[in-house]
Structure 1
Amino acid sequence: IQKRWRGYYVRKYIHNYYALKKYLEAICVNNEIVRNELQEYTEMKENEEKRKELEKKEKEKKYQARKMHYLLSTEQIAGIYNSPFRKSPDPMELLLRNSKPLSHRRQQQKSPFTCELYDWPTCRRPPTFSTARPLPPVGRQKPQGPFRDPAEVWQQRYKPLEPTLRVAASINSPPEKAREETKREEWRNCIHDNEFLPFSSYHKNEKYEPSILRSGKYGQETYGIKHFREVHSKKWVADK
């Protein structure tokens, strides 16, 4: 009796055939719904990727059209995309007509002093000060050998300049300065006693004063004017 009752109880409440059949049918329906939703999601993602790819290609195409705007046809010369042997121009030609040329803009270079000035004058960031403590001095021992004291070496290195008298004195001494000042005054106050009269009628009544070379009793030498070679007829070998 217990065996039969146990079998009935198990088939009725634990391993119910009809309940298991309904459960499996519900799982099949749920799987079908999930599969359809996943299929729709996959198609949506594929369409979105295709749309992004098309937008990227279109954007790249427009950028290339703006960059190659110089290939646009003119009234006199046809461009490479507008061949006269074609019935209609290339689509790139139409895109070039509708696009604007690419402008060359200079990129703003970031100043290296931006961080040092702390975004002055806006002062968006407060200045930061270093709060780290200085390191303690390193206990170095004096090197072995005939070395001088470091303090004495530093004092000799950074001692003030003591120029010599030749370096400290001026190049121009007082007499030289006085001479230069006199030359400047003579050049500035230079006055000619004889007036400049360029007209020829002014010099008509003046008597000609010959030079010392022409006024001598020996007269003017002929060498250099009439002949350029000294002639000594006594030294001739034969009469010429």
Structure 2
Amino acid sequence: MAELLKIRSEAEEFLKEYFLRNSQAEENRQKENQAATRIQSWFRACKVRAYLSHLHKKAIIIQKIWRGFTARARFRQMVKAAYFIMKMNFYEEMAVRIQRRWRGFFVRRYIHNFYARKSYLEGLSRKNELVRRELDEHEELQKRERDCLEE
């Protein structure tokens, strides 16, 4: 019986030891589980941060390319507008030159024509002399008529 009590007490000690070790193992397992969870969350956070950094760099590259494209397009548009303005200024200047030459020619030819003006003035003076002669003749005729009437 002593043997049985000894075995029973050993069995109880074994059970206590078993439960103690089981509870310690469970505590260790929970600690390890928490540690593994922390390590996993840290690793996943690192992966997410790396991915976000990668996305940020790619977004910067896309923005850089788009801004360069739009700036080049805007510059091309500005150059085209400046070229158009330059051409229009040139054409306006050429039109002004043509108008200036034409108006000068026209004025010299038809308005301030020296020979036409000279012939016009000569014709005018001839006509004036004719009109004066006719007026003188008319005056003489009237003078004779008055003299005849007086006699």
Interval containing the TM-score (normalised by the shorter chain): 0.3 to 0.5
TM-score by length of 2: 0.39
* Structure with the largest fraction of helix: 2
Instruction: Please identify the structure whose Cα radius of gyration is greater.
Output: 2
